Amino acid sequence: MEILLGFLTGLFWGYIFQRARILRFEKHIGLLTLKDFTILKFLLSGVIVGSFGVNLLAQFGIISYAIKPTYLLANLLGGIIYGLGWALLGYCPGTTGGALAEGALDGFFGLLGGLTGAIVFAHTYDFWKEKVLTIGALGKTTIPSLIGVSPALAGLIFSLLLIGFCLFLEKKGL
Amino acid sequence: MNKGWSPYLGGFLTGILLIVSVVVTQKFLGKPHYLGTSTAYVRVAGLLEKAVNQGSEALSYYQKYQPRVDWKVALVFFGVPLGAFLAAVKNGEFYAHLIPARWKESFGPRPALRAFTAFLGGFLIVYGARLAGGCPSGHGLSGMSQLSLSGFITVAGFFIGGIPLALILYRRRK
* Residues A88-137: tens digit of each pLDDT: 999 999 999 999 999 999 999 999 999 999 999 999 999 999 999 999 99
* Residues B72-103: tens digit of each pLDDT: 999 999 999 999 999 999 999 999 999 999 99
Q: Which residues of B touch A41 (CB under 8 A)?
A: 7-8, 11
Characterize A112-125 residue by residue with b for buried, 16 or more Cβ atoms within 10 angstroms of its Cβ, and e for exposed: ebbbbbbbebbeeb
Alpha helices in B65-109 (DSSP H): 71-73, 80-90, 101-107
Under the banding of pLDDT at 50, 70 and 90, the label for residue B173 is confident
Neighbours of A140 (CB within 10 A): 15
Closest-CA distance of chain A to residue B174, Å = 16
Taking residues B149-159, report their average pLDDT. Answer: 98
The pLDDT value recorded for residue A56 is 97
Under the banding of pLDDT at 50, 70 and 90, the label for residue B3 is confident
Name the amino acid, one letter, at B146.
Q
First to last CA, chain A: 42
Phi and psi dihedrals of A104, rounded to 5? -80, 95
Cα A109 from chain centre: 21
Closest-CA distance of chain A to residue B63, Å = 10
What are residue B84's DSSP bridge partners?
A: none
Establish if B94 touches chain A: CB-CB under 8 angstroms. Answer: yes
> Taking CB atoms and an 8 Å limit, are A33 and B116 in contact across chains?
no
Q: Which residues of A touch B118 (CB under 8 A)?
A: 88-89, 106-110, 113
Domain locations in chain A? 2-171
**Rounded Cα gap, residues A66 and A47, in angstroms:** 15
Under the banding of pLDDT at 50, 70 and 90, the label for residue B2 is low
Establish if B89 touches chain A: CB-CB under 8 angstroms. Answer: no
Q: What is the DSSP string of B6-57?
A: -HHHHHHHHHHHHHHHHHHHHHHTSS------HHHHHHHHHHHHHHHSTTGG
**pLDDT beyond 70 at B112:** yes
**Rounded Cα gap, residues B125 and B88, in angstroms:** 25
* Residues B35-59: tens digit of each pLDDT: 999 999 999 999 999 999 989 999 9
Closest-CA distance of chain B to residue A85, Å = 4
Listed residue (B148, B41, B160) closest to B140, CA to CA: B148
Domain locations in chain B? 1-96, 98-174
Phi and psi dihedrals of B35, rounded to 5? -60, 135
> Taking CB atoms and an 8 Å limit, are A129 and B60 in contact across chains?
yes
The ranges of chain A with pLDDT < 70 are none
Going from the C-alpha of A80 to that of each of A31, A76, A83, A160, B21, the distances in angstroms are 16, 6, 5, 28, 29
**Rounded Cα gap, residues B61 and B115, in angstroms:** 28
* ipTM over 0.95 threshold: yes
Of B70, B81, B157, the CB nearest to A79: B157
Neighbours of A34 (CB within 10 A): 13
Angle between the N-to-C axes of helices B111-132 and B38-52, in degrees from 0 to 180, rounded to the nearest 10 = 110
Q: Which residues of A touch B42 (CB under 8 A)?
A: 118, 121-122
Radius of gyration of chain A (CA): 18
**Rounded Cα gap, residues B160 and A45, in angstroms:** 21
Residues near B133 by beta carbon (within 8 Å), at least 6 away in sequence: A68, A69, A71, A74, A75, A78, B139, B150, B154
Closest residue of chain A to B127, computed from CA coordinates: A117
Is A35 within 8 Å of A167 (Cβ atoms)? no
Q: Which residues of A touch B110 (CB under 8 A)?
A: none
